[in-house]
Amino acid sequence: MCAEFAPDGPATTLADLFGETTGTVYLTNASADDVETVVTAAGEYDGELPHLRVLGVGEELRKVRRNFLVASRAADLVDTGVLELHERKPSHNTTLLAAPEAVYVPIHIDTVDGTAVTRHEAFREDVYDWCERNWEITEPFDLRTPPLSLVRETLDGEFDPAAREDFDQVLDSTVDVRDTGDLDEVMASLLVAAKHELLHYNLSKWGEDIGLASKATFSRKKGKLEEMGVLTTEKVAVDMGRPRQRLVFTEEYRDEVQRDGLSNLITNVVY
pLDDT digit string, tens, across residues 120-171: 999 999 999 999 999 999 999 999 999 999 999 999 999 988 999 999 888 8
Crossing angle of helices 200-209 and 185-196, in 10° steps, is 140
Percentage above 70 pLDDT, the chain:
94
| 263 has pLDDT over 70 | yes
Buried-exposed string 91-120: b where 16+ CB fall within 10 A, e elsewhere? eeeebbbbbeebbbbbeeeeeebbbebbee
> Mean pLDDT over all residues of the chain?
90
From 111, 112, 120, 94, select the one nearest 28 (Cα to Cα): 94
- Indicate the length of the chain as a whole number: 271
Residue 180 has a pLDDT of 44
Q: Exposed/middle/buried for 43, CB within 10 Å: 0-12, 13-18, 19+? A: middle
Q: In the chain, list all ranges with CATH 1.10.10.10.
A: 148-270
Rounded average pLDDT over 69-93? 95
Distance of CA 136 to the CA centre of its chain: 26
CATH C-level class of 4-140: alpha beta
- Distance between CA atoms of 106 and 122, rounded to whole angstroms? 20
Fold of the 148-270 domain: Arc Repressor Mutant, subunit A (1.10.10)
Residue 2 has a pLDDT of 60
Residue 87 has a pLDDT of 97
| 29 has pLDDT over 60 | yes
Q: In the chain, list all ranges with CATH 3.30.870.10.
A: 4-140
